[in-house]
Homo-oligomer: A and B are copies of this chain.
Amino acid sequence: MRARGHRLLDSQVTLAHGAGGKASAALVENVFFEAFGGAALTAAGDSAVLAAPPAGRLAMSTDSYVVNPVEFPGGDIGELAVNGTVNDLAVAGARPLHLTAGFILEEGLEIDLLRRICASMAAAADAAGVAIVAGDTKVVPRGAADRLYVTTAGVGVIPPGRDPGPHRVRAGDAVILSGPIADHGMAVMMARGDLAISAPIESDTRPVHTLVEALFEAVPDTAWLRDATRGGLATVLNELARDTGLGVAIEDAAIAVHDMTRAACDMLGIDPLYVANEGTFAAVVPAAGAEAAVAALVAAGAPDAAVVGRVVAEPAESVVLVTGFGGTRMVDMLVGDPLPRIC
């Protein structure tokens, strides 16, 4: 019934691939449909038409990805873009449902690289149980982008009864961390190859929605969650302190950092608390639920999940780190940018 099958003869992206004509159609059919499946993407022109969602409030999120390099140990820009939006929805308490993806491609981008990244996105979406339902591609001339940028947006549904947020946090609550920190940022830094050192560090990019589900099942009154992406754990805990008017005290010894990652941070003079993660989140639960929360996370596939601190009344709006020697230091919000284009 349909005359499909323009062949895609080019090995590189050209400006014609972004013009909405035959070359665009060939790119969409040969790369994007092949990776994501055409059924949902073709329906109703440029919008995906989807079933009515399950009961609950909607959650919506978006992130643009400009990571350099686009492929790195443990992942690539496509997997990152899917997991990042899945995780933003998950830490809002939502069950992720549907994703969209917008691509900005630099003229000359290798089609094979684009295929790899789309395959990686499709696998990540599959692993997270979401569908990539709509997409868009633009092509810009050489020098107007750096290979490719991906922007994902997602929709999820927050089941009735769940209502995490700063308004739920109380002094005395436990602060939980789902895994080791700083792997993603250091993996990307190493992959750039412009440092004097190198180390086999892999990004922690992963979807956290099953961990979050396990946490809510174990501790339904989980008060707050946040994935510790740009700016690292220090930044999200500072935002917690700012948004609640309370303080956060964390223990240095309780925060897991892989040996290789710690060594690389030490050599570069970078504090792992400020390094981006892409599959690690912080959560606040009532102190009485802390043990159950950690047990649930460990059972759901986060073996290093641990209580790393607590919410305190004073010092207000601040994050304090208790060091191994019993001293304390303030953990301020990041000011500069030690690690650009990390996601």
Interface residues of A (CB under 8 A from B): 1-3, 15-16, 18-25, 42-53, 55-66, 88-89, 91-94, 98, 100-104, 133-141, 143-146, 149, 151, 153, 155-156, 158, 164-165, 225-227, 229-232, 235-236, 239, 242-243, 245, 274, 276, 317, 333-341, 343
Contact = CB atoms under 8 A, between A and B. Distances in A.
B155 A63 contact: no
Contacts of A143: 143
20 contacts: A1-B245, A20-B231, A20-B235, A21-B274, A21-B335, A44-B91, A45-B225, A45-B239, A46-B91, A46-B92, A47-B91, A47-B94, A49-B57, A60-B155, A62-B134, A64-B151, A102-B151, A104-B104, A144-B146, A155-B155
A47 B89 contact: yes
The 5 closest A-B pairs by CB, nearest first: A21-B334, A20-B230, A20-B231, A153-B153, A19-B337
B64 A104 contact: yes
Given A53-B53, A61-B134, A140-B66, A102 B19 contact: no
Contacts of A66: 104, 138, 140, 144
A155 B61 contact: no
Nearest to A66: B138
A205 to B, nearest CB: 16
Contacts of A141: 340-341
B339 A19 contact: yes
Contacts of A239: 45
A47 to B, nearest CB: 4
A46 B63 contact: yes
Contacts of A340: 15, 18-19, 139, 141
B20 A229 contact: yes
Nearest to A343: B138
Nearest to A106: B144
B138 A20 contact: no
A17 B255 CA distance: 27
A22 B15 CA distance: 38
A100 B100 CA distance: 11
Contacts of A88: 45-47
A146 B144 CA distance: 5
Nearest to A40: B60
Given A62-B100, A62-B101, A151-B64, A164 B44 contact: yes
Contacts of A43: 165
Contact of A49 (B144, B158, B341): B158
